[in-house]
Chain A
Amino acid sequence: QVQLVQSGAEVKKPGASVKVSCKASGYSFSDYYILWLRQAPGQGLEWVGWINPNSGDTSYAQTFQGRVTMTSDTSIRAAYMELSRLRFDDTAIYFCAKDYGPDSFGWYFSDSWGQGTLVTVSS
């Protein structure tokens, strides 16, 4: 079955960077975009962007442009999201998710999620 396993919780200081990993199994990794979203404590879902593991193409939400970098390594079926110049309001759970794929008309939603990685920005 499809499984996405994310790296563990992180505590970072303001201005630092964090890199979250997402290791996939149970499906053809190169064939599906990986989506990244986040959820601040007690808040709703927020779109971060996506990466096409096959081509390396990425698309980032305007909010994160210039601070986020998504990469992938197909040899180990892993995707990464790095967020730099961290601020206190970047404290959130970061989720990776496998795009639903071509069997839909809609875009960029998922039926398979990682467990989430809590990133805490604290001085």
Chain B
Amino acid sequence: QSVLTQPPSVSAAPGQKVTISCSGSSSNIGNNYVFWYQQFPGTAPKLLIYDNNKRPSGIPDRFSGSKSGTSGTLGITGLQTGDEADYYCGTWDTSLNAVVFGGGTKLTVL
């Protein structure tokens, strides 16, 4: 059981937009910054978004992040088949004194 809640899967057609939600509580998302990883099978995670809505260099602006209250959201526009991957949200939890993650969302680009 993950501390943060994500939908297990989302899907959309190429070129469309998709959003992935990440729900937490006041001890984690509500008072800390959210980051997002993209992970392809057999590889290490890749940082997509940090500090709720910032993109590391090299990450296209098709990827965006936002936060409201105790929830974060990852948005991906102009979907490509190469975006098919697992996406994880994470943040610091001040009660658990640990980084916590969502269970991951598998994106399918139909």
* Chain A residues in the interface with B (C-beta under 8 A): 35, 37, 44-47, 59, 61-62, 95, 97, 100, 104-111, 113-116
Contacts and interface: CB of A to CB of B under 8 A. Distances in A.
Contact of A45 (B34, B37, B56, B92): B37
Contact of B44 (A107, A109, A114): A114
B103 A104 contact: no
Contacts, number: 67
Nearest to A112: B47
Contacts of A104: 33, 50-51, 54
A17 B91 CA distance: 29
Contacts of B44: 95, 97, 113-116
A106 B51 contact: yes
B2 interface: yes
B47 A44 contact: no
Nearest to B3: A47
